Chains A and B, each alone.
Chain A
Amino acid sequence: MKRATIIKLKNVWKIYQMGDVEVKALRGLDLEVKDGEFVSVMGPSGSGKSTAVNMIGCLDIPTKGAIYLDGKNIAHLEESELAQIRGRRIGFIFQQFNLIPTLSAVENVTLPMMFQNKSTAEERRQRAEKLLTMVGLGDRLYHKPTELSGGQQQRVAIARSIANDPEVILADEPTGNLDSVTGKVVMDFLAELNEKEDKTIIMVTHDRYVAEHADRIEYLKDGVIVESKEKRKRMKRRFLNGRNHNLEVRKN
């Protein structure tokens, strides 16, 4: 099946001015991601991975170049339009989890829905509970982030990222702060979102094994893509079957 292009970066530059020094974080980056694709971005620290992902997620704007989301150039939109895209079409997952510390898991997940202001408080709460149950936190609904382990916090963040049912999930080193076992659980949920919910996922990672879950791996160096590695779907299927078994065990 031929998929449509959902994200396209064309000759994207990001230059930071640090006093007299210019830091060129991106130097003419080109990237294309198809709807429903799972792309891993790898590369040495400082190569511009986060910068690229933030730009796709409308958190930042490029110095030069074009970023198309569904064919629409978002490179020069106003903050209010960017906020709207972030809220409705993008889900973020960060290395630091970035949950609001004073809010319970459910409240953290309702927050993105609240900013869209399209549903009643009751509908939001129900959806948050459903999503949290889906990521295996049905018994931790009203815990505060400090009362949750790192892996659990990242699962709350996953639930939050899909609260408004976005097309694209951007994950910047989602397992970077987790040990390999809990990291694998988080990866399993991401893979499931890609496989079952057909979410487009762009994930930055340092971990070669984690990157293997993707359909494609892009290698970044000094702000440009230096290598691209396509994988076959079959491998992913096999991996998914194994994961489902793991999930059953983990929930108990």
Chain B
Amino acid sequence: MLFDQFRLAVDGLKRRRLRSWLTMLGIFIGIAAVVSLIGLGEGLRNAITSQFDFLSADILSVEAQGLALAGPPGTGTATPLTDDLAAKIEKVSGVEAAINRYMESGTLEFNDRQQIGIAISMPDGDHRRIIETMLNVEAEDGRLLKDGDKRKLVLGSRFGQDEMFGKGVKAGDRVLLSGISYEVVGIMKRKGNFFMDAAVLANENVMLDDFGDDGTVAIIGVKVKDPSEAGRIKEDIEKLLRKERDVKEGEEDFSVSSPEATLAQLNSTLFAVQLFVYIIAIISLLVGGIGIMNTMYTAVIERTKEIGVMKSIGAKNSSVFTLFFIESGLLGAVGGLIGIALGLIFAYGLAALGRAALGVGLIQAKVSLGLIIGALLFSFVIGTIAGVLPALQASKLQPVEALRSVK
């Protein structure tokens, strides 16, 4: 019975093909918007999260203001952090270790080609293990650095590929970093994080020797014993640094940030963007639903006589209702299916275009099965809700009146 009703409903849609397509337009634009934008948003969120995954909840980082990504533009030259601060921070209660971290950008040369490389320092001893877990690095080829390695480097995964130098660097190769020859002992596993994948790791003392030590550091990485105390420790460090650097509260020329907080802020920004998209999509779907309702009312009027005929051959009100109800639901569901297909094309197409244009893997689309099923159900529900009133009207028609109708 239901199958036959279904068949009749499809029939009803086919006979006004153009109108059915136009009606579905509202739904599939809405659904396409939802699927593609949410898909891109999810992809972006994933990408951002992966940029942060080398930072964990028990790590704080101290930077001079202006060097930080989040620093307001035009803050001028920041007063760099000095290398004596780490020892002082380590005395703050709850701090397990405070590690000076040096960074130098230089040219990396191999196979007669040059690329920019950011050298990151690796400390000796226990601190090395902390930084390794913090950065979550593993060797894909060769090994990681160890204490006592002289003029040895570990390179990010991208340098292992042909694209950088025309030929991938392998463990054992020699490269020039800012004109000095180093041996590459390992290539890191790909992390999907463009900063780490293009990083160059060198031992701290080697970096200080080769690039010079001016007593300043780029970042001080702080590992706390108990992540739940991170907030309190952050405040204590801020208090300490205000005193050390002689600045007033509110005028800090440094920042102590926890990656968690930064990530949460980024996430909330993303969420706001997504919320906006949801609202647009919902408006579009509402309009689509009203379109379906309108089409169904028209269909009921056009087929008044047929409804009379069906009743005269024994159709109950409920059968007539079901027929129009299914028809309306189908308008929603088919519109939703097309919308999903379009949304997938948009999302993955835009992501691919973005990657091609920017050359980085940051822009990615991720459309989950849940999103697809949800979108399909939602569009079906919109269709059925929009169909309730017209279907009720159809079912309540008086048989004789309906039969007398000219149409």
Q: How large is the interface on B (under 10, 10 to 19, 20 to 34, 35 or more residues)?
A: 20 to 34
The reply to whether the CB of B234 lies closer than 8 angstroms to some CB of chain A is no
Question: Are A59 and B316 in contact, with the CB atoms below 8 A?
Answer: no
Mark interface residues in A140-178 (1 if CB within 8 Å of B CB, else 0). Answer: 000000000000000000001001100000000000000
Question: Are B1 and A57 in contact, with the CB atoms below 8 A?
Answer: no
Q: Note all chain B residues with C-beta closer than 8 A to A102.
A: 11-12, 14-15
Complexed CA–CA distance, A149 and B311 (Å)? 25
The reply to whether the CB of B384 lies closer than 8 angstroms to some CB of chain A is no
Q: Note all chain B residues with C-beta closer than 8 A to A182.
A: none
Query: Which of B122-130, B165-173, B302-310 makes up part of the contact surface?
Result: B302-310
- Would you give the shortest CB distance from A109 to chain B, in whole angstroms? 10
- Would you give the shortest CB distance from B4 to chain A, in whole angstroms? 5
The reply to whether the CB of B373 lies closer than 8 angstroms to some CB of chain A is no
The reply to whether the CB of B403 lies closer than 8 angstroms to some CB of chain A is yes
- Hey, which bits of chain B sit against chain A, CB under 8 A? 1, 3-4, 8, 11-12, 14-15, 305-306, 309-317, 319, 398-400, 403
Question: Are A59 and B314 in contact, with the CB atoms below 8 A?
Answer: no
Question: Are B309 and A115 in contact, with the CB atoms below 8 A?
Answer: no
Given known contacts A98-B305, A100-B306, A114-B4, is B316 in contact with A92 (CB within 8 Å)? no
Question: Are A86 and B314 in contact, with the CB atoms below 8 A?
Answer: yes
Question: Are B400 and A160 in contact, with the CB atoms below 8 A?
Answer: no
Interface of B is mostly: helix
With CB as the reference atom, state the residue of chain B lying closest to A87.
B314
Other-chain contact of B315, A83, A101, A110 (Cβ < 8 Å): A83
Q: How large is the interface on A (under 10, 10 to 19, 20 to 34, 35 or more residues)?
A: 20 to 34
- Would you give the shortest CB distance from A209 to chain B, in whole angstroms? 27
- Would you give the shortest CB distance from B2 to chain A, in whole angstroms? 10
With CB as the reference atom, state the residue of chain B lying closest to A117.
B1
Question: Are B316 and A57 in contact, with the CB atoms below 8 A?
Answer: no
Complexed CA–CA distance, A60 and B399 (Å)? 7
Q: Note all chain A residues with C-beta closer than 8 A to B306.
A: 100
Complexed CA–CA distance, A110 and B4 (Å)? 10
Q: Note all chain A residues with C-beta closer than 8 A to B317.
A: 79-80, 83
Q: Note all chain A residues with C-beta closer than 8 A to B11.
A: 102-103
Q: Can you give 28 A-B contacts (C-beta < 8 A)?
A: A59-B311, A59-B403, A60-B400, A79-B316, A83-B311, A83-B314, A83-B315, A84-B314, A84-B316, A86-B312, A86-B313, A86-B399, A92-B312, A92-B313, A98-B305, A98-B309, A98-B312, A100-B309, A101-B15, A111-B313, A112-B313, A112-B314, A114-B1, A115-B310, A115-B313, A115-B314, A115-B319, A164-B314
With CB as the reference atom, state the residue of chain A lying closest to B15.
A102
- Would you give the shortest CB distance from B402 to chain A, in whole angstroms? 9
Complexed CA–CA distance, A102 and B323 (Å)? 15
Q: Note all chain A residues with C-beta closer than 8 A to B312.
A: 57, 59, 86, 92, 94, 98
Complexed CA–CA distance, A178 and B306 (Å)? 21
- Would you give the shortest CB distance from B321 to chain A, in whole angstroms? 12
